[in-house]
Amino acid sequence: MKIIMYSVLEEEKPYIKSWEEKTGNKVTQVNDMLTPETVDLAKGFDGIDIQQTHDVKDPIVYEKLASYGLKQITSRTVGYETFDLNEATKNGLTLTNIPAYSPRAIAEMGVTQAMYLIRNIGYFQERMDNLNFEWHGLISREIHDLTVGIIGAGHIGGASAQIYKALGAKVIATDPVYNVELEPYLEYTDLETVLTQSDVVTIHTPLQDDTRNIIDAAAFKKMKNTAYFINMARGGLVDTQALIDALNNHEIAGAALDTIADETLFFEKQAKPEEIPEDYKELRAMPNVSMTPHSAFFTNKAIKNIVEIGLNDVVTIANGGKSPHALN
């Protein structure tokens, strides 16, 4: 079988090679993302596997893929709000994601950044850049004395709960789905309680109509002014201007962001100064904000699983089978 894989990362290449050797299938790798301009590259292939934070909403992409005889699009991501599921279905294309390639990868990044904020490391580094080695004013709290509130206790929120619990924190969570397996690690409550009672608020919901901007000015006002807000999920869950205002007005103590609303900046590239949005610059300059470029997923385990699970799905569907990861 001939498969085309878009937006291939250097770190994915060894895993692609060993998958090819194991299965006898051939993967053609391109650096491009899937767009109306690059869709023609998929002509002549039996399967397609992509990974990108940019939207794939233009109907022409789905129409062309169907006209080339493709039956599926595999997205090597958890989130799939970048696609138009109706267009995929209309054109007979099965869309799959990878719902759990390594929830721990993202959970560990969130915990790491929360600890960075709790221990005032950004403030200490700012002082040290000015050759100031004073401690005064930067006394920390300890994680096992704190309450962590999780919004969305799915794969990643659940993994986060387990780590925070192991560190001795009290963990509370809000999620419309009750998962009995998480009982040893967290107590379920409502959003209001998570916002008002937590010292660390960490969000792990998908971005969908009812969660867009779920963290707005009113939500920040409900949080403790000593609370840290952690977003390793999607920038669109948060009203960015409200976040900047909450930080400037000391309504919260700090924020950790692996995602921002406009993610076009964040995909493995060297950006030009004129491409950098003002809100990014403002957040990046704050010592009580920790930012990473949508890299929470980027661990060796996650990359191996992303490659293998994704390519196995391509083969299953292209051969007329069903994948448990089908979204339509």
Window 242 to 261, contacts with ligand NAD (CB under 6 A)? 258-259
> In angstroms, rounded to a whole number, what is the distance separating the alpha carbons of residues 187 and 223?
18
Q: Tell me whether residue 234 is one of the annotated catalytic residues.
A: yes
Q: Is 177 in the site for ligand NAD (CB under 6 A)?
A: yes
> In angstroms, rounded to a whole number, what is the distance separating the alpha carbons of residues 190 and 172?
9
Q: Is 58 left (phi over 0), alpha (psi -120 to 50) or beta?
A: beta
Q: Is 297 in the site for ligand NAD (CB under 6 A)?
A: yes
Q: What single letter denotes the amino acid at residue 77?
A: T
Q: Is 320 in the site for ligand NAD (CB under 6 A)?
A: no
Span of 12-20, 201-209, 215-223, 280-288 interacting with ligand NAD by CB under 6 A: 201-209
**Residue 37 or 262 having the CB closest to ligand NAD:** 262
Query: From the list 234, 238, 315, 318, which residue makes contact with ligand NAD (rule: CB under 6 A)?
Result: 234
Task: Output the smallest distance, CB 152 to ligand NAD, in A.
Answer: 3
> In angstroms, rounded to a whole number, what is the distance separating the alpha carbons of residues 117 and 11?
29
Quickly list DSSP for 196-263: HH-SEEEE-----TTTTT-B-HHHHHHS-TT-EEEE-S-GGGB-HHHHHHHHHTTSSSEEEES--S-G
Q: What are phi and psi of 275, to 5 degrees?
A: -85, -15
Q: Is 280 in the site for ligand NAD (CB under 6 A)?
A: no
Site string for ligand NAD, 58-77 (x = CB under 6 A): --------------------
Query: From the list 232, 238, 261, 317, which residue makes contact with ligand NAD (rule: CB under 6 A)?
Result: 232
> In angstroms, rounded to a whole number, what is the distance separating the alpha carbons of residues 279 and 247?
12
**Residue 148 or 318 having the CB closest to ligand NAD:** 148
Q: Which residues pair with 291 in a beta bridge?
A: 257
Distance from the Cα of residue 279 to its chain's centroid: 19
Query: From the list 156, 243, 255, 314, which residue makes contact with ligand NAD (rule: CB under 6 A)?
Result: 156
Q: Is 206 in the site for ligand NAD (CB under 6 A)?
A: yes
Under 8 Å between Cβ of 256 and 221: no
Window 97 to 136, contacts with ligand NAD (CB under 6 A)? 100, 103, 106
Query: From the list 96, 143, 148, 152, which residue makes contact with ligand NAD (rule: CB under 6 A)?
Result: 152
Give residues in contact with ligand NAD (CB under 6 A).
78-79, 100, 103, 106, 151-157, 174-177, 204-207, 210-211, 232-234, 258-259, 294, 296-297
